[in-house]
Structure 1
Amino acid sequence: MNRKYTIPSDEDLTAFIDGELTPEETARIEAIMNEDESVAERLEFLARASLPFEQAFAPLLAEAPRAKLQTMLAAIPVQQSARSDPMPAFASRRRFLGALAASLVAGIAVDRAVIGIGRDFSAKDENSEWRSVVADYISLYTPETLAGPAPVREVQAAQLGPLDEKLGLSLSPEAVSLPGIDFKRALMLQYDGKPLAQIAYLDPETGPMALCIVKSDAGSKAPDLESRKGLNVIYWSNETHAFMLIGRIPADRMKELGEDVRRRLSA
């Protein structure tokens, strides 16, 4: 396919979301969105995702050569901005540093907790969309992301407690355990203004996995299987919540694990 335009970078799309572009740049990206569905979908992902990437990848960022990067940035000459209002030098360098840091975590924007956007996007199936966001997030995990010993039962229960309170569920360590797979941590995230529980595991053979739960009024749905970002996903829902189990475990094994944890969560 021969395009007559350049695909905007995540930095350009983020600036578009934040209203930092000139009218000409804004019009250019809007025109590309109308022509290219993949750009519109990427923009919608960046606008709606509110998962704490910074928290998940803090160990990686902590190991980044910050002092060296800062020295390199200090040596970069400041160029006149093409924007209508000149950007201060520190802001330009800060954005460049942000781009470098983002490259350490596969180009995903870090910790976009609250994003306001006054533009309309095409409506999509809510249950499908949240699974897409989670798959983008989990696909960045490596075994090193979840390195360290598995917490004892008391610590697991303490981590699951706040999830119970936010989601109105009863999540015990036994209810969410996966046979032969280590429980690593439980986090309360946020998707589209709603609490999203993530229980992360580490399979010794295939790597990171996660059980994710979000409130949903879309109604009950029997378990189904799909593939996203090279990961297998089994998902289902009841009258009040939607669930997904995601990882690189083969599909047949994923089905077994999903059915098992679904049965325990329904008990």
Structure 2
Amino acid sequence: MKVDDITLMAYVDGELDIEERREIERELDDSPDLAERIELFRASSLPYHDAFAQQKLPPVPESLTRKIAELSRTHASATSPVPPGPAAEPAANDAIAPPDIGLPPSAPVRSLMRFSAPWLAAAFAAGVFSCVVGLRLLPGLTGLPGGTATVASASPASPWVMAAAGYQALYSRDTVAVATDAAVSAKTVADIHQIDGLPVRVPDLSAQGLTFKRIQRLRFHDKPLVQIVYLPETGGPVALCVVKDAKPDQSLAQQKIDDMDVVTWRQSELSYALIGTAGQVDLGQLGKLIAKRDVDAMFSLAPLPVRPVES
């Protein structure tokens, strides 16, 4: 069965009936790709309205308000008046009247066209203003003066990366303020190699000012996910997360997920995500060192195969 995106969005939004939902869920059991698509739709289902409602945006400039009113008056004066008739409501034929959802179905089409033009002009002007405000509030997304262009991933983050970043956002320095047990960590690395089948290399980042704190065996969609946590001299913890991924190698890409900086790459059938609080550690440079193996390894059991990755 081929399930299109519209059906999947309806499934995520809870708009399908019981039988349709069951059919989708039967497909999920046999299709990892379908499960990944659903996770992407769930990740994009965010309370955008509430987020914008809390933003402290600047007031609409008086000049813009005057311009909109001027556009409305100009259009009203340029439109030929329509002789009143018994079947026409004055409000429906007023050139500057807002749309009335209570208009009868028989209302003349030209009436709708007459009052829609100034409102379209107003909407256009408001859109231009919103665009300008957005660019000024988010300078990091553009190369315009006042902001610095940043390197970003060409595609949205994978569901597992978003989940790992959300988990990492809960961490504080106190979360990992515990003594490190080298024997326990070495046993965990051995289990990752032998049970999970992931040839993960634990980088020693002490020369870069990051202290190894712990390594964990997690799971995402019932697949192994390794989390290696480090603590810099200041700021929040940094995590290197790894999953199995048979896709072709991919060079380093940098992006931002909420308040977390993320650097991802794929190498030797493993996908990596280096995650930390925004602006605290140069994750791009750190990721290059890890990918090129320019740092020593901890808890090594045996030499692991590797292919060079483009930086």
TM-score of the pair, normalised by structure 2: 0.42
Larger gyration radius, structure 1 or structure 2: 2
